[in-house]
Chains A and B, each alone.
Chain A
Amino acid sequence: MPETALLPLIVASAFIGCLVPGLLARFGRNMSALGAAGVMASCLALLIPLIPTVLAGKTLLTAYAWLPDYGLNLAFRLDGLGLLFCLLILGIGLLVVLYAYYYLPESDRLGRFYTFLLLFMAAMLGVVLSENLLLLVVFWEVTSISSFLLIAYKRDQRDSRHAARMALAITGGGGLALLAGVLLLGYIAGSYELSVVLAEGERILNHALYAPMLILILLGAFTKSAQFPFHFWLPNAMAAPTPVSAYLHSATMVKAGVFLLARLHPALAGSELWFWLVSGTGAITLVYAAYIAFHRYDLKGLLAYSTISHLGLITLLFGLDTPLSVVAGVFHIINHAIFKASLFMAAGIIDHECGTRDMRQVNGLFKFMPITATLAIVAAASMAGVPLLNGFLSKEMFFTEAVGHPVFEDMSWLLPLFATIAGILAVAYSSRFIHDVFFNGDPIDLPRQPHEPPRWMRAPVEILVVLCLLVGIFPQWSIAPLLGAAASSVLQTPLPAFELAVWHGFNLPFIMSLVALAGGITLYALRQPFFALHDRLPSIHANLVFKRLYEQLMIFAHRVVSWLDNGSLQRYLASFTTFVLALGGWAWYSGPSTLADATYQPADSAAFAALATLMVGALGATLLHRQRFTAILFTSVVGLVVALTFVRFSAPDLALTQLAVEVVTIVLLLLVLHYLPQHSPAEDSGPRLIRDAALAACAGAGLGATAFAMMGTPFETISGFYLAQSVPGGGGSNVVNVILVDFRGFDTLGEITVLAMVGLAAHALLDKLILVAPGHDSDGRPWAKELHPLFLSILMRPLLPLALAVSIFILLRGHNMPGGGFVAGLVTGVALILQYLASGIDFALQRLPRHKAKLLALGLLLAAATGAASWLFGYPYLTSTHGHIALPLIGEIELASVMVFDLGVYIVVVTTVLMVLAQLGRLSRHNEESA
């Protein structure tokens, strides 16, 4: 198997693996944890064989077409950056699985937790392994949704749900902006494949749409990476269980934003706009969040804001846009992931053991948990940038870049000063974490007596802290190859010369480090006045702003909904008609207005007579609609004229169908009217009637004029094929029928399915329904007691076999002459209705099949199976066949497979009519019984 085939396999096994812990949860939490770890380990095992190739500087690509016309392909890519992120996602993921097993309460089976965690991990792997940008956006959205599920894991808590909603609103909204940006980017670059896009940097930068595209994509990245002013969802997301925070806010979720900056760096970076937007946002976030972190009492809150601050630093580094700053940014992604994951886990241990994480209570823990304390102190020192730890190295690279950055020539002191202030604040909040929690007197009112956590709960922290030291002391040996591969795949150029060493000599960056350390410790020592000052400052909580906006939006949405959707059908139909009229009017106004080449046929007196009859029918039904019985009679006149129109204009099939439908419809209307009021009350106001009449008249005039224009315009029909192929291809000379059962058989299958649903709906809607019909008509005259006139019932009985014979005749000849399954079914339906009218429902039902639903299914199956039968002979679905058979007495007839199909149509039509009728009949029987 080629190496590249492993890439989709990694993503696929992660997504499929989501199900494993959920399925294993019934065997207890151990199994579910093992399952989750197993899935991650197997993803890692699939990844490991690819590592040497990628470290050697190669990019693995593989693609499968998904929707190629839209540029969306299942294309995957593994290069240094992708490898780095995969290792972070899977490595820290494994540690989180172990940690969560101890952190979450014993009573939790963990199936749901690990399923969500794996789903999230799978989506993250998808993001970092995507070669296709649209595919990347798809996975990006899955991370938003799965992180929503993870943050809301404690779903019985209001805070969790609120935080999850907020995270989803911000990151999901950013995802939409990203989608728009990516669409623009693909349009500019001419492809959604990264390999193409990354090589088109020049063209993209000079394109007119560069600025909007960049802003949209940055919105996506900044919301995900919690950059100011979208940062506030992250501290709220601390409502999630700590393992989730350790995973989402160190290595994965928030890193997706900076991953995107790194991924698209060759395509987007290099402009002034990029520099100012990205480095500006990063710088503000870096300092602002560090300042807030320093003032937090909540342990996780401090870590949350420090995370935002470090993400700001990474953003700033990508924004500075020199080759070395990009290397530093990638390096800091790694370092931050390692030390922040361990710090979150340590904070979780403290929370777990003490029952609180308020730093005003949690003090002096060193004597209770010395090992955990040591680990956390080392990790926090790395966060502060203390030498010999990994955080120091990337911070030192940041300082070096700050000193030498070319853009600030005139104010070369500005950036270093800024960097030093950020460094001081980082040291200050790290000192606070170390000193407040582990020293600073004794614990105050802890809910629990703290002690060391279980052995294996600490293990993930130990591993991560060892990594901090390894990278910090032996960078060249431990991290350089991976960093090199990742950074060069970000830059898409050969790497600049850089030296990963602990000691670079006594230079300006080192002095800045020293100043930051000393200043930070001093700041922490003098914290009381600062805290007092901070408390007096007016606080603008982004949280509150969001809440206000959210509430306003909800109120607005409710207003719009209650305005549009007020539950009035009349209003919906009126606004719908108005809207369609407006659209039509616009098209009319803007379109060509000439009918120059229109030709028309002369009218004759029969046509005028028919029109006059139709007008009487339609207007009569409308004007007298409140006398419902009269209105039905007028409507039936219209139906007859329409059927005659079909006869006149060469459509015998339509005329037959229309006639049969007309009879059934009128009978149904009469039956139903029996249970409804006989008159409509006069309740509509004059203005409303005028408004409705105007709307209706406009619509009528519009449609009539359109029809008139259409009929006069010459056109080219596509029906030549059907006419030519009807006999040789379909084996029938009635082209309409051949189209229905052969050429467009699949449509017909859909249509009889709809009919079947009507039959079933009759059962669903009317079964067990009790409606009492009035015993007299609207004028107070009682209905005749004589239910079934003898004359009628006697006369009708011999008619049934006759009608059945006729309908079979119509069915059989339908392929060549007017007729077919629809008409035959309706004729049978009419015959049965006649029996029902003449002899009552009991008589009719006794003579009919009882299991109508089965009959319905039989009809559908017959039609579908005829189509499927062509598979047996290796033809596409619904391919027809036909031949001639000689029968004794009747002679030679042409038999086509579609006749079976038509039989299915027939059965469905008959059964539907029957089911409706039987339900209505049941209503009347109930009335007879109660009478």
Chain B
Amino acid sequence: MEAIVATAIGILTTCGIFLMLRARTFPVVLGLTLLSYAVNLFLFASGRLMLDAPPLIRAGARYTDPLPQALVLTAIVIGFGMTAYLLMVALRAMAETGDDHVDGREKS
């Protein structure tokens, strides 16, 4: 099971970083989104993978580690904020330079 999650993290990271290295704003935002998934999964995995053990207190239950979950929850929301922000910066850059190159010019 762990190998599958690790593979997923690796693939998401690879795709995310490759897209972030592209020259246009839109793929960079997509890449960042993919990389966020990878990082969130990684953080989540640091609490180990447990089946049927949600951290909801009830009699006689076992619980997974709640702390990484709390961290990842805020990370998801902040990641959304960052994506939104980047998209707006991309729009603004488009308006200012008439182009969507990340460096504000056609070819580096």
Cα distance A816–B58 when bound, in Å?
10
Besides A654-B44, A700-B11, A704-B10, 17 other A-B contacts (C-beta < 8 A): A611-B8, A619-B11, A621-B19, A638-B37, A649-B51, A650-B51, A652-B54, A661-B77, A680-B27, A696-B13, A696-B16, A697-B14, A699-B13, A735-B63, A736-B70, A817-B56, A818-B56
Bound: A569/B104 CA distance, A: 10
Contact A642 B41 (CB under 8 A): yes
> Could you say which residues of chain A place their CB within 8 Å of the CB of B73?
653-654, 657, 736, 740, 822
Contact of A631 with B27 at beta-carbon distance under 8 Å, contacts A611-B7, A621-B19, A736-B70 already known: yes
Contact B95–A771 (Cβ < 8 Å)? yes
Contacts of B55 in A (CB 8 A): 650, 723, 734-736
The answer, yes or no, to whether A625 is at the interface (CB within 8 Å) is yes
Q: A607-B4, A653-B69, A676-B25 are in contact. Are A683 and B57 (CB under 8 A)?
A: no
Q: Out of A653, A661, A739, which one reaches B67, CB within 8 Å?
A: A739
Binary interface profile of B, 1-27, with partner A (CB < 8 Å = 1, else 0)?
111111111111111111111111111
Chain A interface (Cβ < 8 Å from any Cβ of B): 567-571, 573-574, 577, 600-604, 607-608, 610-611, 614-615, 618-619, 621-622, 625-626, 628, 631-632, 635, 638-639, 641-642, 645-646, 648-654, 657-658, 661, 664-665, 668-669, 672-673, 675-677, 680-681, 683-684, 692-693, 695-697, 699-701, 703-708, 710-712, 715, 717-719, 722-723, 726-727, 733-736, 739-740, 744, 747-748, 751, 754-755, 758, 761-762, 765-766, 769-771, 816-818, 822, 826, 909, 912, 916, 919, 923
CA distance A784 to B77 in the complex (A): 34
Closest 9 CB pairs of A and B: A704-B10, A700-B14, A708-B6, A733-B57, A696-B18, A696-B17, A735-B66, A739-B70, A700-B13
Contact of B30 among A635, A701, A715, A739 (CB under 8 A): A635
Name the CB-closest residue of B to A649. Answer: B49
B88-A919 in contact (CB<8A): yes
Q: Name B3's closest neighbour in chain A (CB-CB).
A: A708
A803 CB, nearest partner CB in chain B, Å: 18
Q: Which of A568, A604, A762 makes the CB contact (< 8 A) with B84?
A: A762
Q: List 19 A-B contacts (CB under 8 A).
A: A619-B11, A621-B30, A621-B34, A625-B22, A642-B40, A652-B54, A672-B91, A681-B24, A692-B22, A695-B17, A696-B13, A696-B14, A715-B48, A718-B67, A719-B47, A734-B56, A736-B69, A739-B70, A822-B77
Query: Are A569 and B103 neighbours in the complex by a CB distance under 8 Å?
Result: yes
Given known A-B contacts A669-B87, A711-B49, A735 and B8 have beta carbons under 8 A apart: no
Contact B94 A771 (CB under 8 A): yes
Cβ A912 vs Cβ B15 within 8 A: no
Q: A631-B27, A649-B64 are in contact. Are A916 and B18 (CB under 8 A)?
A: no
Cβ–Cβ < 8 Å partners of A657 in chain B: 73, 76-77
Contact B18 A692 (CB under 8 A): yes
> Do A766 and B91 form a contact, CB below 8 Å, given A658-B76, A703-B42?
yes
* Contact in complex: B19, A622 (CB < 8 Å): yes
A758 touches which of B4, B18, B57, B85 (Cβ 8 Å): B85
B91 to chain A, nearest CB (A): 6
| Beta-carbon contact of A680 and B24 below 8 Å | yes
- Given A723-B66, A916-B84: A570 and B11 within 8 A (CB)? no
Residues on A with beta carbons closer than 8 Å to the beta carbon of B100: 676-677
8 Å CB contact of A696 from B21, B23, B63? B21
Which residues B63-99 have CB closer than 8 A to chain A? 63-67, 69-70, 72-74, 76-85, 87-92, 94-95
A569 and B89 alpha carbons, distance in the complex (Å) = 14
Chain B residues with CB under 8 Å of A711's CB are 2, 5-6, 45, 48-49
DSSP class of B's interface residues: helix, strand, loop or mixed? helix
Q: Is the CB of B13 within 8 A of A676?
A: no
Q: Which residue of B lies closest to A614 (CB)?
A: B8
Closest chain A CB from B16 CB (angstroms): 8
A635 contacts which chain B residues (CB < 8 A)?
A: 30, 33-34
Residue pairs across A and B with CB atoms within 8 Å: the count is: 305
Q: Tell me whether B66 and A736 are in contact (CB under 8 A).
A: yes
Contact partners of B87 in chain A: CB under 8 A: 668-669, 672
A507 to B44, CA, bound (A): 88
Set of chain B residues within 8 Å of A611, measured between Cβ atoms: 4, 7-8
Cβ of B84 and Cβ of A758 under 8 Å apart?
yes
B residues in contact with A747, CB < 8 Å: 74
Chain B residues with Cβ below 8 Å from A766 are 88, 91-92
Which residues of B come within 8 Å of A, CB atoms? 1-30, 33-34, 37-38, 40-42, 44-58, 63-67, 69-70, 72-74, 76-85, 87-92, 94-95, 100, 102-103, 107-108
CB contacts (< 8 Å) of A641 on chain B: these are 8
**Does the CB pair A723–B63 fall under 8 Å?**
yes
Q: Which residues of B contact A607 (CB under 8 A)?
A: 1, 4
CB-defined contacts of B76 to chain A, threshold 8 Å: 654, 657-658, 661
Q: How far is the CB of A388 from chain B (nearest CB, A)?
A: 76
B105 to chain A: closest residue by CB = A567
Q: In the bound complex, do residue A664 and residue B80 qualify as a contact, i.e. CB atoms below 8 Å apart?
A: yes
Candidates A626, A699, A723, A755; contact of B57 at CB < 8 Å = A723
Closest to A741 in B: B70
Which residue of chain B has its CB nearest to the CB of A628?
B26
Q: Please pick, from A569, A704, A912, the residue contacting B13 in the complex, using a CB distance under 8 A.
A: A704
A259 to B: closest C-beta gap in Å: 52
Contacts A568-B108, A680-B26 known; A769 to B19 CB distance under 8 Å? Answer: no
Q: For A668, list chain B residues within 8 Å (CB).
A: 83-84, 87
A455 and B58 alpha carbons, distance in the complex (Å): 92
Complex Cα–Cα for A849 and B79 (A):
26
With A and B bound together, what is the CA distance between A923 and B10 in angstroms? 38
| Bound Cα distance A739, B74 (Å) | 11
The interface residues of chain B lying within 8 Å CB-to-CB of A700 are 9-15, 17
Q: Do B74 and A740 touch across chains, with their CB atoms under 8 A apart? A: yes
How far in angstroms is the closest Cβ of chain B from A689? 9
Contacts of B89 in A (CB 8 A): 765
CA of A83 to CA of B78, assembled, Å: 58
Min Cβ gap A359→B in Å is: 60
Contacts of A708 in B (CB 8 A): 2-3, 6
Contact of B4 among A568, A603, A618 (CB under 8 A): A603
A573 engages B20 (CB within 8 Å): yes
B20's nearest neighbour on chain A, judged by CB, is A573
Chain A residue numbers with a CB within 8 Å of B94 are 675-676, 771
Nearest-Cβ distance from residue B106 to partner chain A, whole angstroms:
8
Closest to B6 in A: A708
Residues of B within 8 A of A648 (CB): 51
B45 x A710 contact (CB < 8 A) = yes
Bound-state CA distance A692–B16 (Å) is: 11
Complex Cα gap A708–B79 (Å): 24
A858 to chain B, nearest CB (A): 19
Residues of A within 8 A of B49 (CB): 601, 649, 711
Bound together, the chains give a CA A652 to CA B45 distance in angstroms of 15
Taking a contact as CB atoms under 8 Å apart, the answer to whether A618 and B12 are in contact is yes
B92: chain A residues within 8 A (beta carbon): 765-766, 769
CA distance A298 to B73 in the complex (A): 72
Contacts of B6 in A (CB 8 A): 704-705, 707-708, 711
B50 touches A650 (CB 8 A): yes
CB distance from A823 to the nearest CB of B (A): 9
What is the bound-complex CA distance between A748 and B100, given in angstroms?
Answer: 34
**B72 x A654 contact (CB < 8 A):** yes
Min CB–CB distance A902 → chain B (angstroms): 13
Q: Across the interface, which residues of A come within 8 angstroms of B23, CB to CB?
A: 570, 680, 683-684
Q: How far is the CA of A722 from the CA of B12 in the complex (A)?
A: 31
